[in-house]
């Protein structure tokens, strides 16, 4: 009896830690195909070794062992975009994630601020109105996000979603692109420098590659004009750029099929290495990634979908290549594993097969794992066809050892392993949901009488339930009643006029000379010169001797009008 009574009382005071059953959580988040695979391996182990096993069984075993080293056993997905997720980035520390989409929005997530009940971004920004986003990239210290929208101007935001800079747009009427301070056509790619946190490079459809200092908005640091050999020196479109790991070279791919390197120290008028037939003409090279200082990979989208492995020391033919990786979205990229042994990329769907996430072995570009994702449903409850689903943007974070994949359905899938991964999605999964307190429910504090009075006022009534006219109350009485009003009492105070964000006014004040004159009172501005004009007239000085007195007769008021004006003045 005493034990039962003791169980009714708390064992301690203060905030009690919530116990989380991690095993149950990870069982619930385990991918269905992985659970089936684990069950099959368990059944195979319980049956014992089979006699007369051939080489194919050995190859299956080795493939299973390799898959266990991949962070693909568990999954969390976020559904906050309405269209294709075309940009994806995670900060180097693995605490925040940024996603961009064809719905024009950039969503910012904080892993430590989410739980399984609230998988929502803490900030949503539209960088450029009615323009989708090509690329997003956190800086090396994670303090800034580089935004490459489908326009000619790159933007820089803080990790909290505040705009820092919008870089200059060039003059579209100048033919020589060396003389323009900024791009004049849509930017397709942008990447931070591998070692310098203040430098990034962009490539554009205006046939230029430009190196920028993040602290200088009005002009780029270096301009590289790409001339196409296939089109006899005319312009071509730059689709992808990236830095070599040492930061001394910039690689760029163009729609004429060429692949080139430029030295950052110059000369910039011609590339140090170029291969005019690296890809087929008009193929869209969506991504370039370096394995080391000399080895790199390129990927083309479209129906062909070719992945090629190159060595810059023998820049004539690729070391390896693989086709059949079609993607209908030009922003589709690929990513390397932290140990540089695997490649992860997404493909588009077909009438028979939905888009998949492929993990390839870098040594021979063979498939190690192909992951499926559930098809979304329409508002009517019908399942979307497999051809409509594509895996577009992928990131394999080195610190977290987790894979993030953005889909054409607007969802972002976070893949991880409960054994191999740390932080990131695991922080979200293991966090206990917030307990709702009675103070969190504001409706519990509403004065029902005040609510009835507010309803009466909205309907044109007296405003107080007691029959008195609200319009006849004094200012103090109105303020006292509004404090009890459940609507007005929770309405935030509007900011002061001078504290509102006015980007257009700020731009004019900073960049246009004498723009402050528009804020002056014109009457006061003229009266400053009244005494000077009287002592030294500029325009009427010639009439000082010929017309020393006014020749215009003064208009006198009629007596009746003067009396009426005097009566109005007295009233």
| Structural domain includes residue 497 | no
| Structural domain includes residue 27 | no
Q: What is the pLDDT of residues 158-174, one digit of tens each?
A: 999 999 999 999 998 99
| Structural domain includes residue 135 | yes
Domain boundary among 430, 457, 478: 430
Statement: residue 463 has pLDDT above 50: no
Q: What is the pLDDT of residues 8-66, one digit of tens each?
A: 666 665 555 567 788 899 999 999 888 787 777 667 777 765 544 444 343 455 556 77
In a shared domain, residues 383 and 467: no
* Least confident range of 163-167, 356-360, 540-544: 540-544
Which range marks the domain in which residue 478 is found?
Answer: 439-490
Q: What is the pLDDT of residues 489-498, one digit of tens each?
A: 665 655 444 4
Q: Which has more pLDDT, 94 or 518?
A: 94
Statement: residue 150 has pLDDT above 80: yes
Q: Which CATH number belongs to the domain containing residue 94 in this structure?
A: 2.130.10.10
Domain boundary among 381, 411, 430: 430
Q: Which has more pLDDT, 385 or 209?
A: 209
In a shared domain, residues 468 and 334: no
Mean pLDDT for all residues in the chain: 83
| Structural domain includes residue 524 | no
Q: Residue 534's pLDDT is what?
A: 79
| Structural domain includes residue 550 | no
Q: Residue 121's pLDDT is what?
A: 95
Give the closest residue to 328 by CA, choosing from 1, 52, 84, 41.
84
In a shared domain, residues 405 and 364: yes
Q: Residue 526's pLDDT is what?
A: 80
Q: Which has more pLDDT, 559 or 298?
A: 298
Statement: residue 367 has pLDDT above 70: yes
In a shared domain, residues 173 and 231: yes
In a shared domain, residues 357 and 454: no
In a shared domain, residues 227 and 313: yes
* Contact assessment for residue 97 and residue 90, using Cβ atoms and an 8 Å cutoff: yes
| Structural domain includes residue 532 | no
pLDDT, average across residues 432-457: 60
Domain boundary among 467, 490, 513: 490
Q: What percent of the chain has pLDDT over 70?
A: 77
Q: Determine the Cα–Cα distance for residues 185 and 204; give it in Å rounded to an integer.
A: 6
In a shared domain, residues 133 and 194: yes
| Structural domain includes residue 422 | yes
Statement: residue 499 has pLDDT above 60: no
Q: What is the pLDDT of residues 79-92, one digit of tens each?
A: 999 999 999 999 99
Q: What is the pLDDT of residues 224-257, one digit of tens each?
A: 999 888 766 678 999 999 999 999 999 999 999 9
In a shared domain, residues 242 and 379: yes
pLDDT, average across residues 367-387: 83
Statement: residue 390 has pLDDT above 90: yes
In a shared domain, residues 369 and 471: no
Q: How many beta carbons lie within 10 A of that of residue 414, not counting itself?
A: 29
In a shared domain, residues 413 and 459: no
pLDDT band at residue 380 using 50, 70 and 90 as cut-offs: low
Q: Which has more pLDDT, 214 or 462?
A: 214
Statement: residue 288 has pLDDT above 60: yes
Q: Which has more pLDDT, 384 or 272?
A: 272
- Which helix (H) or strand (E) segment holds residue 432: the answer is none
Q: Residue 91's pLDDT is what?
A: 96
Statement: residue 314 has pLDDT above 80: yes
Between the CA of residue 15 and those of 5, 92, 234, 493, what are the distances in Å? 22, 33, 70, 34
| Structural domain includes residue 16 | no
- Which helix (H) or strand (E) segment holds residue 148: the answer is strand 144-149
In a shared domain, residues 358 and 443: no
Number of domains in the chain: 2
Own/partner contacts of 62-69, CB < 8 Å, gap of 24 or more, are: 63/368, 64/37, 66/361, 66/368, 67/37, 67/368, 67/369, 69/420
Q: Residue 465's pLDDT is what?
A: 46
In a shared domain, residues 369 and 468: no
* Contact assessment for residue 452 and residue 464, using Cβ atoms and an 8 Å cutoff: no
- Which helix (H) or strand (E) segment holds residue 101: the answer is strand 96-101
Q: What percent of the chain has pLDDT over 90?
A: 54
């Amino acid at each position: 009896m005493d034990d039962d009574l003791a169980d009714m009382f708390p064992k301690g005071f203060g905030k009690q830690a919530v116990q989380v059953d991690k095993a149950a959580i990870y069982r619930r988040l385990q991918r269905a195909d992985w659970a089936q695979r684990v069950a099959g391996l368990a059944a195979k182990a319980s049956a014992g070794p089979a006699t007369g096993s051939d080489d194919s069984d050995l190859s299956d075993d080795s493939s299973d062992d390799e898959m266990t080293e991949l962070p693909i056993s568990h999954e969390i997905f976020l559904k906050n975009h309405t269209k294709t997720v075309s940009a994806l980035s995670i900060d180097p520390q693995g605490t925040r994630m940024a996603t961009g989409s064809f719905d024009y929005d950039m969503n910012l997530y904080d892993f430590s601020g989410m739980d399984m009940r609230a998988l929502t971004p803490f900030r949503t920004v539209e960088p450029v109105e009615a323009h989708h986003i090509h690329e997003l990239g956190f800086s090396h210290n994670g303090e800034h996000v580089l935004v490459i929208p489908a326009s000619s101007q790159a933007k820089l935001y803080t990790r909290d979603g505040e705009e820092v800079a919008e870089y200059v747009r060039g003059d579209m009427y100048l033919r020589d692109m060396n003389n323009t301070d900024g791009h004049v056509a849509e930017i397709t790619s942008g990447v931070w420098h591998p070692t310098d946190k203040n430098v990034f490079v962009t490539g554009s459809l205006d046939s230029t590659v430009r190196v920028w200092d993040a602290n200088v908005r009005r002009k780029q640091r270096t301009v590289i004009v790409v001339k196409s050999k296939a089109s006899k020196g005319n312009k071509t479109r730059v689709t992808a750029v990236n830095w070599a790991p040492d930061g001394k070279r910039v690689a760029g791919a163009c729609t004429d099929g060429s692949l080139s390197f430029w030295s950052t120290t110059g000369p910039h008028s011609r590339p140090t290495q170029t291969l005019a037939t690296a890809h087929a003409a008009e193929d869209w090279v969506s991504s370039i990634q370096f394995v080391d200082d000399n080895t790199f990979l390129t990927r083309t989208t479209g129906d062909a979908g070719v992945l090629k492995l190159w060595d810059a020391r023998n820049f004539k033919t690729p070391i390896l290549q693989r086709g059949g990786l079609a993607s209908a979205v030009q922003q589709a990229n690929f990513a390397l594993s932290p140990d540089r042994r695997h490649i992860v990329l997404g493909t588009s769907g077909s009438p028979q097969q939905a888009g998949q996430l492929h993990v390839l072995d870098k040594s021979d570009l063979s498939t190690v794992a192909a992951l499926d994702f559930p098809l979304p449903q329409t508002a009517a409850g019908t399942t979307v066809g497999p051809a409509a689903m594509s895996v577009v943007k992928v990131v394999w974070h080195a610190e977290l050892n987790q894979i993030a994949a953005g889909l054409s359905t607007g969802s972002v899938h976070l893949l991880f392993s409960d054994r191999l991964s740390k932080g990131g999605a695991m922080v979200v999964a293991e966090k206990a949901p917030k307990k709702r307190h009675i103070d969190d429910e504001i409706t519990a504090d509403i004065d029902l009488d005040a609510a009835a009075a507010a309803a009466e006022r909205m309907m044109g009534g007296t405003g107080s339930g007691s029959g008195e006219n609200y319009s006849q109350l004094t200012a103090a009485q109105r303020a006292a009643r509004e404090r009890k009003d459940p609507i007005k009492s929770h309405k935030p105070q509007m900011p002061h006029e001078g504290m509102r964000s006015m980007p257009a006014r700020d731009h004019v004040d900073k960049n246009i000379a004498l723009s402050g004159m528009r804020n002056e009172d014109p009457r006061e501005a003229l009266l400053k010169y009244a005494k000077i004009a009287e002592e030294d007239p500029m325009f009427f000085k010639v009439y000082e001797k010929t017309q020393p007195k006014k020749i215009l007769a003064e208009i006198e008021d009629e007596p009746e009008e003067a009396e009426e004006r005097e009566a109005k003045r007295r009233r």
